[in-house]
Structure 1
């Protein structure tokens, strides 16, 4: 009797780490990384991140596709995606990493660390009296499985936290609003904006020049979701003009960020290489295995998504 097989594809994740952790959870599954070295008919599961065009079409008996990450925008619009359940990763390790990145980025601005960094390079002792954290208005744009916990972490730290999402959420300590008709008012009152939205047709370019201009003078922007949620040329203009004072950017329209891109030379921009929240196999393998067990039992997987919506 043929065993179940899983095909793995990612140019960024370690296949050996995934094989070790996943087969420990599911010893009856065959783990493959080479599509040409396995009988396509026995491949029932795919664990992938941005596989090449046509990848899924060669496996006629897929029962589950799992995306190696929280964002599934790379799956939207593919013409080879099978009509099977699709899940994404959302393990506790990813949540902790994102929350820590958001806390670091917000606190860096709230405690004026960016100013002290520049003063140190000038050899200047520059004192700025700290503000109470409860007086600093932080807005989290997107309150999903990563944004919600990040907002809660900011509340626990003592910030005045507001949140915006597509549908209304109820998060203790967070002043929540929802829907496109409330977004402009939300932005007008935010000192530090944290973007944690998925990339969908509705969110692509959501923060255009008009909306960026709604942020108060001196606002800071942190984007740890997808670069295309923000109109990049408009953000460059806003940072150059001072409409937005500072930005911390982990994601970009084109990645890796091209060497000649304007962001590299901007002193008011901190760049990190898309690592705010990454998948740790040791933690995530348990969820992948549980989704496979559920599909085998006729149940939906964990963290199922609708690729037509983009989340």
Structure 2
């Protein structure tokens, strides 16, 4: 053994470790997902400790506090009242709906805050699916894409900076780009959920929005967790159709997918640390088995190390304060 070569010399002090550190995590890499609901009250989410569905006024305040910590943007997820859910999901493109009102309020209060919106039908669809459902249970692709275009235009009119289609319908990125450009919203970006897997990690999120499918599952449109090459195909398609940012969801169990798409594309990569990932850390910390701040920080650093430029995480505000 050649003891003249000692890698530990580069680990011996905080100053040296800082200088040779290969991956850096800053608040600027974080995006804060926020749940919102109608009314004047906030509702804690039992399956996601520390998270809640915000009323509009408190949503604006929470987003402002996060932005002051250096977080550049938020992404919005609405809990839609049951009486507004329909098979055609018409509420998703109501210009006076919950999300457009939230966008306008956020942009008015915090002009430099980046507002990202989820483009999918599951919060609005009485069937609980990301797409329109045929009488025989099939998820209709092209008909869904037409509605998604109306939804994206609604968000753009309200002032959204980025629309994020999470539906996994074929061809939706090209259709959204054409619709936005035709309406002179060429400045609105598309953050495509490129590799969204049919994951068991989404459970707490669906409970928070009451958006679980009423029948069947999402395996005919979300990706098989066993597949890797398929993610590269999806990435190539989304890039060719005009996506500005490619997203992988979930993040932690799919670090290999983040890395492979990073190697295959020059576009920025986003990754979503989803509700199940968040809950496991929270539960471990609540039981006294984990240090929440340290494990959350390490998990996010791992996602950055895999190649993600930006991370959607419920820890965003907490970790930004630590950083």
Output the TM-score relative to the length of structure 2. Answer: 0.30
Output the TM-score relative to the length of structure 1. Answer: 0.31
Pick the structure with greater CA Rg: 1
